[in-house]
């Protein structure tokens, strides 16, 4: 009896695992509400950049592209009316940022259009970024399959008609200096993945669609994990191939390994790693205090010491009183003061 139960549960687990291997998750719940909400919100945030667009119309063009259809059979043409309706934002010269294998870092770096503009910072990309959607031919209420979408394979490549086309249109509008951020430490489950692949979205839809006459230079930013390993760097491995492919298209490139502005962002997440110690040494070196600075700092230090001493005395007195009365409040106020002096110290 126990054995049967064990075998059955094993079967169930195996079945479950194979099902989850074959199918990814279904379409995002509340897809329509999310798309409509993001569409209006984008226009609220970018009121100056985007002429008012009809979000119901945008949803309609998006929805009819895939609803009630076999997901493996959607085409570029299906989504064309969505991209025509929404248009491509005007990306300022020198601001386009492309990426491959560096999703998180590229978007931290672009900062939603503040520093640079990625595809996902444009309206067409932003309103569906991170969502999953696929249709179903069976007659359900809305023609969207919320239970599962096919796993992305070459034989059923259902996200490329959307994202490939978005990439293409975004690349066509790039001008001036363009940047691409690639990953020099990219690991698959077993083998390293090259930083640049000709079959990536960048290789297939972006680099080939640049209007070379409008592009002055391609800056390649190679990012490595803070603690390495540096599998590929400027001038070797697949990055050499990228430089060659760009050159063949008539685009000049310059390449930078871990530029400071990118590295500082990575260090924000791992401030204690050895490679990020430059924060302590570096800042002091750059702002060598002058004589005047030195004197005023001494004054500040003396005043601070005085404040701290007075404060300690006060705390001690209050502490004695409070231990007898209300304990919690006293500790709170102590922490608050300590925090405040910390902040003063840093500025």
Q: Is the dihedral of CA 107, 112, 116, 117 positive or negative?
A: positive
Nearer to ligand NAG, 140 or 311 (CB): 140
How far is residue 179's CA from residue 248's CA, in Å, rounded to a whole number?
A: 17
Stretches 31-39, 143-151, 285-293, 297-305: which one binds ligand NAG (CB under 6 A)? Answer: 143-151
Between the alpha carbon of residue 115 and those of residues 88, 108, 314, the distances in Å are 19, 10, 48
Coil vs helix vs strand at 53 = coil
How far is residue 98's CA from residue 198's CA, in Å, rounded to a whole number?
A: 14
Nearest-approach distance from CB 57 to ligand NAG, in angstroms? 4
Counting contacts by CB under 6 A, is residue 185 touching ligand NAG?
A: yes
> Among 109, 116, 170, 201, which one carries the catalytic annotation?
201
Lay out the site mask for ligand NAG across 4-23 (x = CB under 6 A, - = otherwise).
-------------------x
Q: What is the DSSP string of 112-156?
A: TTTS-B-GGGSHHHHTTTT----B-SS--SSSB-SSEEE---SSS
Residue nearest to ligand NAG (CB): 136
Nearest-approach distance from CB 281 to ligand NAG, in angstroms? 24
Residues 46-85 that bind ligand NAG (CB under 6 A): 54, 56-57, 60, 70, 73
Catalytic annotation on 76?
no
Counting contacts by CB under 6 A, is residue 172 touching ligand NAG?
A: yes
Question: Which residues lie closer than 8 Å to 27 by C-beta, 6 or more apart?
Answer: 131, 132, 133, 134, 144, 145, 146, 149
Q: What's the order of all strands across the beta sheet hosting 97-100?
A: 97-100, 176-183, 215-223, 253-257
Tokens at residue 61, please? 């063009």
Q: Number of helices and strands (H, E) in the chain?
A: 13, 6
- Among 165, 135, 163, smallest CA distance to 149 is for 135
Stretches 32-40, 112-120, 176-184, 300-308: which one binds ligand NAG (CB under 6 A)? Answer: 176-184
How far is residue 87's CA from residue 124's CA, in Å, rounded to a whole number?
A: 7
Nearest-approach distance from CB 196 to ligand NAG, in angstroms? 12
Lay out the site mask for ligand NAG across 101-130 (x = CB under 6 A, - = otherwise).
xx-xx-------------------------
Counting contacts by CB under 6 A, is residue 183 touching ligand NAG?
A: yes
Stretches 7-15, 30-38, 121-129, 223-231: which one binds ligand NAG (CB under 6 A)? Answer: 223-231
> Among 42, 109, 120, 162, which one carries the catalytic annotation?
120
Lay out the site mask for ligand NAG across 252-281 (x = CB under 6 A, - = otherwise).
x-----------------------------
Catalytic annotation on 190?
no
The one among 250, 282, 289, 306 contacting ligand NAG by CB under 6 A = 250
Which residues lie across from 148 on neighbouring strands?
25
Catalytic annotation on 116?
no
Instruction: List phi, psi (to 5°) of 223.
Output: -105, 135
Stretches 43-51, 147-155, 312-320, 326-334: which one binds ligand NAG (CB under 6 A)? Answer: 147-155
How far is residue 271's CA from residue 266's CA, in Å, rounded to a whole number?
A: 8
**Residue numbers of the site for ligand NAG (CB under 6 A)?**
23, 54, 56-57, 60, 70, 73, 88, 90, 92-94, 101-102, 104-105, 136, 138-140, 145, 147-148, 150, 172-173, 176-177, 183, 185-187, 216, 223, 225, 230, 232-233, 236-237, 250, 252
- Catalytic residue positions? 120, 201, 206
């Amino acid at each position: 009896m126990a054995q049967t139960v064990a075998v059955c549960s094993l079967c169930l687990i195996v079945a479950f695992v194979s099902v989850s291997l074959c199918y990814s998750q279904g379409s995002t719940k509340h897809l329509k509400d999310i798309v409509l909400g993001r569409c209006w919100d984008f226009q609220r945030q970018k009121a100056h950049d985007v002429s008012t667009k009809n979000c119901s119309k945008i949803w309609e063009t998006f929805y009819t592209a895939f609803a009630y259809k076999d997901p493996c059979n959607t085409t570029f043409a299906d989504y064309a009316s969505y991209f025509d309706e929404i248009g491509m934002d005007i990306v300022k010269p020198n601001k386009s940022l492309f990426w491959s294998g560096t999703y998180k870092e590229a978007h931290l770096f672009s900062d939603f259009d503040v520093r640079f503009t990625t595809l996902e910072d444009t309206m067409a990309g932003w309103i569906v970024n991170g969502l999953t959607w696929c249709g179903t031919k069976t007659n359900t209420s809305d023609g969207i399959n919320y239970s599962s979408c096919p796993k992305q394979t070459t034989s059923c490549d259902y996200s490329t008609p959307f994202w490939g086309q978005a990439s293409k249109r975004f690349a066509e509008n790039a001008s001036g200096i363009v940047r691409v951020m690639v990953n020099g430490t990219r690991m698959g489950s077993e083998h390293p993945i090259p930083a640049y692949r000709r079959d990536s979205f960048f290789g297939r839809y972006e680099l080939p669609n640049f209007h070379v006459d409008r592009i002055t230079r391609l800056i390649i930013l190679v990012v490595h994990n803070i603690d390495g390993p540096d599998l590929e760097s400027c001038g070797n491995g697949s990055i050499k191939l990228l430089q060659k492919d760009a050159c063949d298209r008539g685009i000049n490139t310059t390449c930078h390994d871990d530029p400071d502005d990118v590295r500082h962002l990575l260090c924000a997440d791992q401030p204690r790693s050895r490679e990020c110690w430059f924060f302590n040494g570096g800042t002091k070196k750059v702002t060598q205090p002058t004589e005047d600075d030195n004197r005023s700092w001494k004054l500040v230090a003396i005043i601070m010491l005085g404040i701290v001493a007075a404060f300690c005395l006060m705390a001690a007195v209050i502490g004695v009183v409070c231990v007898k009365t209300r304990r919690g409040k006293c500790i709170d106020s102590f922490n608050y003061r300590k925090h405040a002096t910390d902040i003063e110290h840093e500025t």
